[in-house]
Amino acid sequence: MLLKAETHSAPHAPGRLQRNWLQGTLRALAVLLVTAISACSSQKAQPPEPTAPTTSAQSAAALQRWEVKGKLGVRSAKENGSANLTWQQASGNYRIHLSGPLGAGATVISGSPGGVSLQRGSEPAVFAADADQLTEQVMGWPLPVTEMFYWARGLPAPGAVSAKQADAQGLLQSLTQSGWQLTFSGYQSVGPYKLPTRIKAATRQITGPVNVTLVIKEWLPK
């Protein structure tokens, strides 16, 4: 009987190359995956972006004309009392009317870019370059009306600020400026504005400490 010789064919070269290519690709992908995981685990968390000024603060800066009604309290070496307050502001011009024990009946402080006048009752008006100088001269304690134009709206006045602190909404809580330390303990919504309702301000004069408290009961933007 004739036996048919068995033949063994050699593996095809293309199949071997394909397997080698696939194994190499898998090894390369594994290396890339390990590298990516290591990079992610070692990356530090980025700090949060600083928040932009709040809309309420921006709105308050735009408020230039108003009428405020409330009370003004003063404690100093020469004064300890309070008065009803009406404050009318029209950009750089203002009129502050005090009535009660602190105002000795009625005191009107009127100011413009050209200067300030103060009149108590029926006495002749007294004039000066700024309200600080004038109120200290006549009443024995300083009233920083120029800075209060900003502080009353919950804003720092132009110039250097020694320290300040705001809440999460960007509303001013404390401020040290122009020799005064201020605390803002209340705000109210008035139309598009978020405005202070209680401000305590303290400073020290040669004669001793001066504490001024402004309580705003009614904001009337114009």
Residue 208: both structure tokens together? 């001793």
pLDDT at 9 over 80: no
Instruction: Work out the percent of the chain whose per-residue pLDDT is above 90.
Output: 59
Instruction: Work out the percent of the chain whose per-residue pLDDT is above 70.
Output: 73
Across the range 97-123, mean pLDDT stands at: 88
pLDDT at 109 over 60: yes
Strand order in the sheet with 193-205: 126-128, 115-120, 107-112, 93-99, 80-90, 65-75, 208-221, 193-205, 180-190, 172-177, 163-166
Across 19-23, 88-92, 161-165, the highest mean pLDDT is recorded for 161-165
How many angstroms separate the CA atoms of 56 and 48, rounded?
Answer: 22
Superfamily of domain 56-221: Lipoprotein localisation LolA/LolB/LppX (2.50.20.10)
Say if CB 161 and CB 179 are below 8 A apart: no
pLDDT band at residue 142, thresholds of 50, 70 and 90?
very high
pLDDT at 55 over 80: no
User: Which segment of 12-16, 133-137, 159-163, 191-195 scores lowest on mean pLDDT?
Assistant: 12-16
C-alpha distance from residue 105 to each of 3, 170, 171 (Å) = 138, 39, 36
* The predicted structure's pLDDT at residue 146: 93
Domain map (residue ranges) of the chain:
56-221
pTM: 0.74
pLDDT band at residue 103, thresholds of 50, 70 and 90?
low
* The predicted structure's pLDDT at residue 100: 84
DSSP strand pairing (115-120 vs 107-112): antiparallel
Radius of gyration of the chain (CA): 37
